[in-house]
Amino acid sequence: MCRQSYSGASSQLVHPGKYQIKTADGFSYDSFNPRARPSLWCVQRMFEKCNFLGFLAEPGHWGTQFLDIGRFDCMIFLAAVEMRCKPELYDHRTRKQPVQVDSELVRVGNTSFKIRSSLFLPEIAKPVTQEDMYFVFIDKDTRKPTSPPSWWKEKYARYSQPNEGPRGMRSYDLSQAADAVDHEEFRVRSVDLDPYCHVNNAAYLRFCYETYVSSHIRKFGYRSNGDPFRNVRNIICNFKGDADFGDLLKVSFIEAPCNEGALYFQIVNGSKGVIFECTMEFFPQLECEREEREKYAVTMG
């Protein structure tokens, strides 16, 4: 799937702990929201596809495979993500094609590892988005965290950097703030699934963002209290379970009590409980954005 979507991509294993992908197509038409800015979940998909292109080198070409993922007999599970976005990501004057993603191993733990990916656009020297992805090794039989092979740790431990442990995210009991909680429900569709027929990771971000947008438009419409299509500055999220086709997911959010300007989301999948949570922080809205929003509202009638 990744190779078909990036058939024109070029890749380079810079060293065993660093991989680079360049793709000429960059962000496509359906990657943009109504404000012509990249959607959060499409940015996440970009990182996801570039990393898995590195993981899934062709058999017989293991020397070009990022982190030798295909050489050991266990699964990897994405446990957490931290994404940091710069204003240039949303700037209309910035070309969104081609895209370059550099992914680098920055931590090797006993049962986990962490990759830092940086997304570059052609006219900007520094990355416009960075993402830390925390993966856990999972035993296929017990479905519990396990250690990677000793040869793997010996090869890659040298790339582990200090102070790169997981960043804690505070969870909240939304039942204690029932009057301040907004809700939305989503039925999982086929378009939300990954190759294993579970909900793909980026879809959870879309469910959260769309819940916020729906709540804003219901309460304020398009004209008042800011633009419903806010630009995301940072996200921190934990993946705690999964969902399948047809599941009914309940998304709830509140204003994060300890982080002004941020929202805290939970996704509950029936009896499975909370399967995803995240904190989403937005950029302040500028006066030029307000004027642009009002022009858009007029065209909407």
- Residues 71, 199: one domain? no
Would you state the structure tokens that stand for residue 183, as one six-digit string? Answer: 């809700």
* pLDDT, average across residues 83-91: 97
In a domain, 29, yes or no: yes
- Residues 146, 254: one domain? no
* Predicted confidence band of residue 296 (pLDDT cuts 50, 70, 90): very low
Would you state the structure tokens that stand for residue 83, as one six-digit string? Answer: 């994404």
What span, in angstroms and rounded, lies between the C-alpha atoms of 149 and 74? Answer: 10
Give, to the nearest 10 degrees, the angle between helix 201-220 and helix 40-55. 180
> Please, is 177 exposed, middle or buried when counting C-beta atoms within 10 Å of its C-beta (0-12, 13-18, 19+)?
middle
- Residues 128, 192: one domain? no
DSSP state of 235: E
Q: pLDDT over 90 for what percent of the chain?
A: 65
Predicted confidence at residue 180, as pLDDT, reads 82
What span, in angstroms and rounded, lies between the C-alpha atoms of 123 and 98? Answer: 10
* pLDDT, average across residues 29-52: 93
In a domain, 2, yes or no: no
Q: CA angle 267-270-272, nearest 5°?
A: 80
- Residues 72, 92: one domain? yes
What's the chain's average pLDDT?
88
- Say yes or no to pLDDT of 249 above 80: yes
Query: How many structural domains is the chain composed of?
Result: 2
Would you state the structure tokens that stand for residue 52, as one six-digit string? Answer: 């898995």
Q: Which residue has the higher pLDDT, 46 or 7?
A: 46
- Residues 159, 26: one domain? yes
Last residue of a domain, one of 167, 200, 227: 167
Q: Is the dihedral of CA 200, 178, 84, 114 positive or negative?
A: negative
Q: Which residue has the tokens 């992914």?
A: 103
CB 20 within 8 A of CB 102: yes
* Cis amide prior to 59 (ω within 30 degrees): no
pLDDT one-digit tens code per residue, 169-219: 888 888 877 778 999 999 999 999 998 899 999 999 999 999 999 999 999
- Residues 134, 173: one domain? no
Domain that holds residue 99: 7-167
In a domain, 110, yes or no: yes
Domain containing residue 59: CATH number? 3.10.129.10
Q: CA angle 242-77-14, nearest 5°?
A: 140
User: Maximum distance among all alpha carbons in the chain?
Assistant: 64
Predicted confidence at residue 62, as pLDDT, reads 47
Please report, for residues 82, 111, 138, the alpha-carbon distance to residue 145 in angstroms, rounded to integers and kept in the order given: 21, 6, 4
Least Cα distance to 213 among 33, 92, 27 occurs for 33
pTM of the model: 0.90
Predicted confidence at residue 57, as pLDDT, reads 62
- Residues 97, 173: one domain? no
- Residues 48, 69: one domain? yes
- Say yes or no to pLDDT of 265 above 70: yes
- Say yes or no to pLDDT of 297 above 60: no
- Residues 11, 123: one domain? yes
Least Cα distance to 44 among 59, 57, 27 occurs for 27
